[in-house]
A and B are shown apart, each in its own frame.
Chain A
Amino acid sequence: MTNHWIDLKNADVILAMGGNPASNHPISMKWIMRAREKGAKLICVDPRFSQTAAKADLYAPLRSGTDIAFLGGMINYILANDLYFKDYVIHYTNASFLVNPEYRGPADLDGLFSGYNEKKRNYDKTTWLFQKDENGLALKDPTLQDPNCVFQLLKKHYVRYTPEKVSAITGTPLDKLLEVYKLYGSTGKPDRVGTECYAMGWTQHTVGTQNIRAMTIIQQLLGNMGMAGGGINALRGEANVQGSTDYGLLFHILPGYNPTPNASLVDLATYNEKNTPTTKEPQSVNWWGNRPKYIASYLKALYGDTATKENDFGYSWLPKIDVGQNASWLMIFDNMLKGQFDGFFAWGQNPACSGANSNKTRQALTKLKWMVNVNLFDNETGSFWRGPDMNPKEIQTEVFMLPCASSVEKEGSISNSGRWAQWRYKAVEPVGESLPDAEIMNELYFKVKEMYKKEGGAYPDPIVNLTWNYGERDAAGKLKHVDIHAVAKEINGYFLEDVYDTKVEPPKLIGKKGDLVTSFPSLQADGTTSSGNWLYCNSYILKDGKEVNMMARRGKKDPTGLGLFPEWTWSWPVNRRIIYNRASVDLDGQPWDPKRPLLKFNATKLDAKTGKPGVWEGDVVDGGGGPAGSPTGKLPFIMKPDGIASIFGPGLAEGPFPEHYEALECPLEVNSMSKQRVNPTIKIFGDKMDAAFSCDARYPFVCSTYRVSEHWQTGCMTRHCSWLLEMQPQNFVEMSVELAKELGMTNGETVFVESGRGKVKAVVLVSERFKPFKIENTTVHQVGVPWHFGWQFPEDGSGYDSANLLTPNVGDANTMIPESKAFMVNVRKA
């Protein structure tokens, strides 16, 4: 989330699209309803009349996989009716930038952008670049009239998305469509704010990233980014999926969103040169210009004293991916099925039910020599060898299932969707012999390291040089237990030497050797500081000589009245509660909306540190410097090299503007926007287990997976809770009254749902919540299946199995997140 949960109360219009907060984030509705009590309107756009729709002021249905058409139509409506926030658009976005005149878009090239390579299924993006002046700055036309400026290109691109065309693609009734556009478009006024809540309903598509980008364009046009009550809010699905992403448990990033080094980045200097953006824009903060400080401090945290300037701080000890290598989820199981992996850890995760195309995942597991599954409960992954259609005697995988402690049996922090890192305490000892996960890691660290010390082996350096100083050691030098506070402090970081600010004369001491670093502007690139994750620097600080765990704070002050609660736990970065908050003020630093002053520049008040006049009041300001209109002023989008937000986004795989393409499996022969039916840049997997079927009479219905309030993810942590299982005991397939009639099915009947990849049993749930769609003058039915069930528990099989047996093996072109929200199925009598 750019904003946070409580901030939903500050919105005038809340758009729930691509998510169902009432079911899946129930307590968030407290803040949505509080906004409504003050007169805000809730819009719900969803294929199904969801629980959120039931509380909405306005509901509009759409067929799964057509969000870009819907949002593209909204962009067209905003432009055509002059609803955009002009000052914001001119000063804080790249609307005025001039693009290479060679650039061509789908309006010219029938669905493609210029530079497409059909063989490689990718783009040469040269023609998507901006025109630059002799100083390297983008050429601009602040009047927004130049035919090559972003604003005019945007118009040309989206004028094709007429309400009639959109309605024919999405199946949304025309009047509902226009009502949504009008209501959401009303937030383009400086004193009206709109926010958006999405979840997997937007990410789990072959165009997932572009779904979200389409909304960011709308939020920029309406001036809603950086505002209290605004922003784009990813409602994340797991308690700490924000944190686990921040900590780089993904193939492409290290902690703090530093890219994983690849083979061609042969040393630290090359890594920094390639990954550190530069800018000629004098008003840009260009925060990623600090990358070298963050990576050096990370390496110092990993390798301690053995990381020296001479050995590049141990950079070569980090494993490198090949240039362009994709080691993401779908690739892991694709390669596993081909026999690439000896060993596999499924740690706190149940991939046999959670990833797309579960039959493929489960078959892939049989190819492993060994597998380690760490969990609270037995599950479909640990027990894959005894699952449906498996012959244990033929499966040669050695499997370990290790019991771990639950969240109330250990201590540590987790980060919620609003980026609040909150400390949890230990209430009781772990049950039985189960161990906190950190203790299991500790054991494996020492056991593997000891083997390398004793026996030698392949390149032991990264293993023997890794620091692990988290508490008291036994006689053998092994940590008796992991002191989680010591880990949290290593993450925050230390001054490893006395560090001085050499920009002032005489040099001023910033930090003393051995002290915790106060916040990330103090981190250094020369090895004199450490920080395991720069984003969390400032989470455990030294205050008045005492070490303070900021994540454990429980202060209830709310000075702005906006619900920022700056003394409750801690929010990254540096306790900022709303990111890009500088976009909430005008060029003089005064709030666009005086009713909701998130930030305000007080030009006369003296700064306590510098003694000079000029202080930001309110939230922790994004970046330093004065208001954008002042000589020392800074632009608001500090993570972008040019300092402003990107309406034109040349970085993504499939184009600088989102374009509607159909899902890989869809009910239409033709994409009525262009002759490109599906995203031209997605990876097509070729195995027979990856089969996809569009417009195939065998699989006539659109299907989407979803969740219910009583269960969570694959159900591993909820199916074992009798209260929850009693309320939602088994898999179901929800369908409209019309479809049930057509198929001769009744409520409660057990049926099979089948796709080209698998089938699953389900109980029929006939409901008014689904209605047949009218798409291009034909009737299209959509059904839905929750994905919380699995064969392993309840042990009698009464819950049936996972909906992911049905989902296709295809990912978004940028992220490789599987397309589980739009695919084709059949429903037949059991």
Chain B
Amino acid sequence: MGVSRRDFLKLSGGTVLVASLGVNLDPAKAYAKDLRIKNAKVTTTVCPYCSVGCGILVYAENGKVIQVEGDPEHPINEGTLCSKGSSLVQMAVNDTRLRKPMYREPGGTAWKEVEWDWALDRIARLVKDSRDKSFKTISKAKVKEKQPDGTEIEVEKEFVVNRTDAIAHVGSAALDNEECYLLQKLVRSWGLVYIEHQARI
């Protein structure tokens, strides 16, 4: 989209300066904005960057995001946004976004585009093979056990663990709650215990 850096600076703070000079450009800006988003559909969202949770209005036209701005109704940000939130449109509409599943074979020197079905079948196969090969039903561990005379001694015992130590997972604080729930459900069903994400670092 054709917003110059100068326009952007206005959006993210320049307007405050103008107002402090006692010049009111609001009618002109409102007119310009009206042209821009006249036919756009608006939805609300919450900023995907930091955790303040600012409300954002997303304007879309012909299936493409054309404008974002702070949600004036949102009680936390009251319509304001920081540099990152104001730039959300560039995260959504971006030529460098991945558009196809990519694959790199062992020893390969370049990515190649692949079909979803092929990639997902292959990943499912790798998950199953790694899991089957490594699945641990029993683990031995030293535990303290109370003796009849009341003392405790350390004994080695076998315990059911039903897990795989051959697959690890990290992520993600960038997912929605419902996705986080599904993800922990999925990877734990496969028997993973090496599960971590951004909160640890």
Bound-state Cα–Cα, A441 to B183, Å: 7
B160 x A345 contact (CB < 8 A):
no
Asked if A397 is an interface residue, CB under 8 A from chain B, the answer is yes
A residues within 8 A CB of B174? Answer: 238-240, 348-349, 717
The segment from A114-122, A276-284, A388-396, A696-704 found at the interface with B is A388-396
Contact A5 B52 (CB under 8 A): yes
Within 8 A of B (CB), among A91-112: none
Assess whether B32 is interfacial by the CB under 8 Å rule. Answer: no
Residue A245, interface by CB 8 Å? yes
Residue among B43, B91, B161, B182 making CB contact with A263, cutoff 8 Å: B161
**Which residues, 114 to 130 on B, are CB-close (under 8 Å) to A?**
116, 119-130
Please tell me if the beta carbons of A302 and B96 are within 8 angstroms of each other in the complex. no
For the complex formed, measure the closest distance between the CB of B95 and the CB atoms of chain A, giving whole angstroms: 9
Partner of A249 from the list B52, B77, B122, B197 (CB cut-off 8 Å) is B197
Instruction: Tell me, rounded to whole Å, the shortest Cβ–Cβ distance linking B179 to chain A.
Output: 5
Contacts of A711 in B (CB 8 A): 84
B36: CB under 8 A from chain A? no
- Is residue A482 contacting chain B, with contact meaning CB distance below 8 A? yes
B175 with A437: CB separation less than 8 A:
yes
Residues on A with beta carbons closer than 8 Å to the beta carbon of B101: 400-403, 433
In the complex, chain B residues whose CB is within 8 Å of the CB of A417? 51-53
B173 touches A563 (CB 8 A): no
Is B27 an interface residue, CB under 8 A from the partner? Answer: no
Instruction: Give Cα A704–Cα B166 distance, bound, in whole angstroms.
Output: 34
Out of A238, A263, A406, name the residue touching B51 (CB < 8 Å): A238
Task: Report the number of A-B residue pairs with Cβ-Cβ less than 8 Å.
Answer: 490
Stretch in A165-173, A622-630, A683-691, A812-820 touching the partner: A812-820
Contact indicator A392/B108 (Cβ below 8 Å): yes
Residue-wise, chain A 393-429 has the 8 Å CB interface mask toward B (1 for contact) of 1111111111100111111111111101110111111
CB distance from B43 to the nearest CB of A (A): 4
Q: Let me know if A143 is at the binding interface, CB within 8 A.
A: no
Is there a chain A Cβ closer than 8 Å to B34's Cβ? no
Q: How far is the CA of A463 from the CA of B191 in the complex (A)?
A: 9
Is A830 an interface residue, CB under 8 A from the partner? no
A247 touches B180 (CB 8 A): yes
B43 neighbours in A (Cβ, 8 Å): 408, 425-427
**Which residues of A have CB within 8 Å of B124?**
444, 447-448, 451
A238-B51, A241-B198, A348-B175 given as contacts; is B193 within 8 A of A793 (CB)?
Answer: no
A122 to chain B, nearest CB (A): 15
Digitize B163-201: 1 where CB-to-A-CB distance is under 8 Å, 0 elsewhere. 111111111111111111111111111111111111111
Q: Quick check: B97 and A403 within 8 Å, CB to CB?
A: yes
Contacting residues of chain B (81-115) with chain A, CB-CB under 8 angstroms:
81-85, 87-88, 90-94, 96-109, 111
Q: Does B19 contact A (CB under 8 A)?
A: no
| Contact residue among A247, A431, A459, A556 (Cβ-Cβ distance under 8 Å from B99) | A431
Pairwise interchain contact A240-B119, C-beta atoms closer than 8 A: no
Decide: B48 and A427 in contact? CB cutoff 8 A. Answer: no
Can you list, as one digit per residue, whether each of A805-823 has a CB less than 8 Å from chain B (1) or not (0)? Answer: 0000000000111101000
User: Do residues A346 and B170 form an inter-chain contact, with CB atoms below 8 A?
Assistant: yes
Quick check: A724 and B87 within 8 Å, CB to CB? yes
Task: Report which of A332, A341, A370, A718 forms a contact with B84, defined as CB distance below 8 A.
Answer: A718
In the complex, the answer to whether A400 meets B103 with C-beta atoms within 8 Å is: yes
CA distance A249 to B187 in the complex (A): 10
Q: Is A500 an interface residue (CB 8 A)?
A: no
A289 at the interface (CB under 8 A from B): no
Chain A residues, CB < 8 A from B169? 344-345, 347
Closest to B121 in A: A447
Is the CB of A264 closer than 8 A to any CB of chain B? yes
Chain B CB within 8 A of A306 CB: no
Which chain A residues numbered 706 to 747 have a C-beta less than 8 Å away from chain B?
A: 709-713, 717-718, 720-724, 726-727
Chain B residues with Cβ below 8 Å from A409 are 92
Answer yes or no: B132 CB below 8 A from chain A CBs: yes
Tell me if A399 and B103 are in contact (CB < 8 A): yes
In the complex, chain A residues whose CB is within 8 Å of the CB of B187: 345
Residues of A within 8 A of B119 (CB): 400, 402
A572 to B75, CA, bound (A): 18
A356's closest neighbor in chain B, by CB?
A: B201
A250 cross-chain contacts in B, Cβ below 8 A = 195-197, 199-200
Given the complex of chains A and B, what is the CA–CA distance between A124 and B30 in angstroms? 68
- On chain A, the residues within 8 Å of B181 by CB distance are 247, 255, 487, 490-491, 532-533
**Interface positions of B from 24 to 43, Cβ below 8 Å from A:** 41, 43
- How far, in angstroms, from A519 to B104 measured CA to CA in the complex? 48
Q: What is the bound-complex CA distance between A76 and B186, given in angstroms? A: 50
Q: Does A457 contact B (CB under 8 A)?
A: yes
Q: Which of A341, A397, A793 contacts B106 (CB 8 A)?
A: A397
- Neighbouring B residues of A650 by C-beta, 8 Å: none
> Are B120 and A376 closer than 8 Å at their CB atoms?
no
27 contacts between A and B (CB under 8 A): A241-B198, A263-B161, A266-B160, A316-B162, A323-B142, A329-B201, A332-B170, A340-B166, A343-B167, A345-B167, A346-B171, A349-B173, A392-B109, A400-B103, A401-B102, A414-B176, A415-B53, A418-B53, A425-B44, A432-B97, A437-B175, A445-B189, A532-B181, A558-B75, A718-B91, A721-B91, A726-B5
Nearest 6 interchain pairs by C-beta = A432-B99, A416-B53, A348-B172, A412-B176, A403-B98, A458-B135
Given A238-B173, A385-B104, A438-B178, 20 additional A-B pairs, CB 8 A: A27-B82, A236-B51, A238-B50, A264-B141, A319-B163, A332-B168, A344-B168, A356-B201, A374-B171, A406-B92, A412-B179, A414-B177, A422-B46, A432-B98, A451-B125, A565-B75, A568-B75, A709-B82, A709-B84, A815-B200
